[in-house]
Amino acid sequence: MSEAPNLFAQQAKNRRQTAVWVAFFVLFFAWLGFGGDAALYYGSIDANGQAHYTVPWMGIVVTFIASLVAWNSWSRGPKRILWSTGAVELTTPHTTEEKQLLNVVEEMAIAAGLPRPKVYVVNDPDPNAFATGHGPETAAIAVTSGLVQALNREELQAVVGHEMAHIRNLDVRLMTMIAALVGVIVLLSDGMGRMFRGGGGRGLGALLGGRGKKVGGGAITLVILALWLITLLLAPLISRLMAMAISRNREYLADATGVQLTRNPAALAAALQKIEASETPTTSIKGGAAHLCIADPLGRAANLKEGRLADLFGTHPPMVKRITILRGMAYQQTKSAAPQA
């Protein structure tokens, strides 16, 4: 197998997996918004089989409020992330390393066929990098000062290529949207929980208990209501797990697309090896931006191991697995370039 088919197969696989997870995310959000309406509908059926709750007001109101909150998070998210990390835009380079960084970003932007993103530097000794924005026109790449100092030019190019891949694949847009939806789901779960604990569910209980049992619809109503309430309770955890799964898939995809831009999988493997060897977390980057980074800045154990725990709770794929895949690409590249005997 040549390097190119292996590379594009990786990209296609990760795009398919991301599409499935995004579909699950949308369906889950719809269930949270309209599941209560379904219970109300079945619970409002009278002895004549007539439903008295026909307009899904709960879902409409929740969707409207969620849209406002999500739009606010979406529009301000990238600026908040850069501000929270203390990132400073690099416009005029003063050192050889800064000049090299701007040159590399320019090269990778040309290779990707995109406008050159703004470049930011985070004053932190731990090597790391991330991309943010709403799309190629508003994107920004941020690297830590430790990354610039730790990597040689080829390795820096590979990391910037990885971040440029996030921009090219619209991951910056996708992950900003997913982060906004997770925030909305957490607020929704908390708000609805407070409403029911405060007695706001009495009207729901009265409606469900008043009619459905007369025509045998009580069982369906109670099952739907129980599933909806359980889902609402677990919604913050479930939404975060789905967001982590999407984030892991996009990291694999960015690795493969970055290699497509640089044609140097060995350099990215070497860069990830140096990043992994760093013993201290990236203290300047907090949890809100952790999923955007090339490596988990918090040093969480779930991101360091392979297996079910990493597959479920890790925001990033295991670094050892990523390096192994990249080295496999480098081997295929070397094999295909070798003269045939």
The residues annotated with a catalytic role in the active site are: 163
> Token digits for 304?
């360091």
Output the CA–CA distances (angstroms, integers) from residue 148 to 71, 97, 199, 228, 326, in the order listed. 34, 7, 56, 49, 21
**Burial of 197 by CB count in 10 Å (0-12 exposed, 13-18 middle, 19+ buried)?**
exposed
Which DSSP symbol is given to 298? T
* Strands, sheet with 129-132, edge to edge from the N-terminal-most edge strand: 88-89, 118-122, 140-144, 129-132
- DSSP H/E element including 111: helix 96-112
Q: In residues, how long is the chain?
A: 341
DSSP codes joined into one string, 198-255: TTTTHHHHHHHHHSGGGGT-HHHHHHHHHHHHHHHHHHHHHHHHHHHHHHHHHHHHHH
- Can you tell me whether residue 149 is helix, strand or coil? helix
What are the residues facing 88 on neighbouring strands? 121
Contact indicator for 64, 184 with CB cutoff of 8 Å? no
Q: β-pairing, 118-122 with 140-144?
A: parallel
Q: How far, in Å, CA of 264 to CA of 7, rounded?
A: 12
Contact indicator for 17, 253 with CB cutoff of 8 Å? no
The gap between the terminal CA atoms of the chain, to the nearest Å, is 17
Contact indicator for 130, 292 with CB cutoff of 8 Å? yes
